[in-house]
Structures are given as structure tokens and as C-alpha cells.
Amino acid sequence: MTVLQIREIMDRIPHRYPFLLVDRVVELVPQQRVVAIKNVTMNEPFFQGHFPGAPVMPGVLIVEALAQAGAVLLLCDIPDRASKLVYFTGIDQARFRRPVVPGDQIRMTVEVMKLRARSCKMRATAEVDGELVAEAEIMSALVER
């Protein structure tokens, strides 16, 4: 089992502030599963407009965080990963169960359902305090930079 801190995550995926949505990886089993953490704070730039006085993390950003965790998983054991990108190509069965607000810590679990040389389908869930907040099936493609 592998644990990754923020610098190691940034070595694996190209996302940067304000769009890097994975803070830590607490479990990583190559080609199988990743468990990652996103700490949600009031300092997130999207809370300025979503929604003033009642901040809620946009569902599309929760899905993006799940997709980024999946990208970390897909790129973890590729030797030439600096020359690759993971594109988010599709989403099925997305459901949002409750709002995510400042102070929440999202625990994201992404598991490989089907893996091919250049594409992958993953099952992703997001939980806060053990309660399901979002889930989806995510499709991605591995491409040259």
C-alpha cells in the first residue's frame, strides 16, 4: 500500500491551484484502487459565488476530484508518465447524496472496473464522515501530451 503527499501527487498529475483537488493519497494499489483525501476549506475560490452566504461545493468539482484521484491511480506505475495525460472522457450513474460544505473532508475511493492499454472505466465514491455524498462511474483515456 502506497501513501502519497501533495508533492508526490503533483509529480503524477499536471493539475495546479486552483484546480488541484486531491490533497493526499492514503491508499494506492496499482491498477486496482486508490483512496484519496480532499480537505474542503472556506478558502476555496468557488465558494465566492457558489453560494454567497450558503457555501456548497459544486457537484461537478466533486466529480473532478474523483477523476483526479483516478488519474493518480492510472499514472502511478507508468514509467514515462511525464509524457502522458489522463483525459476524463465520460461519466455514468452520477448521483449526489448531500451537500459538501467548508470544513468537510472528502474521502474518495476509486476502483478500476475495466482497464485497457489506453482507456479505463472506474467506480468512484466520495464520503464525508463515513456518509456517501457522491458516486459515479468515470471513463478516462490515456493520451500523449
Q: How far apart are CA 70 and CA 123, in angstroms?
A: 9
Q: How far apart are CA 63 and CA 108, in angstroms?
A: 10
Instruction: Catalytic residue, from 24, 50, 84, 121: name it.
Output: 50
Query: What digits encode the pLDDT tens for the residues 74-128?
Result: 998 888 888 899 999 999 999 999 999 999 999 999 999 999 989 999 999 999 9
Enumerate the domain spans of the chain: 6-144
Residue 15 bears catalytic tag: no
Q: How far apart are CA 32 and CA 38, in angstroms?
A: 20
Q: How far apart are CA 108 and CA 93, in angstroms?
A: 16
Task: Kindly report the pTM of this predicted structure.
Answer: 0.96
Superfamily of domain 6-144: Hotdog Thioesterase (3.10.129.10)
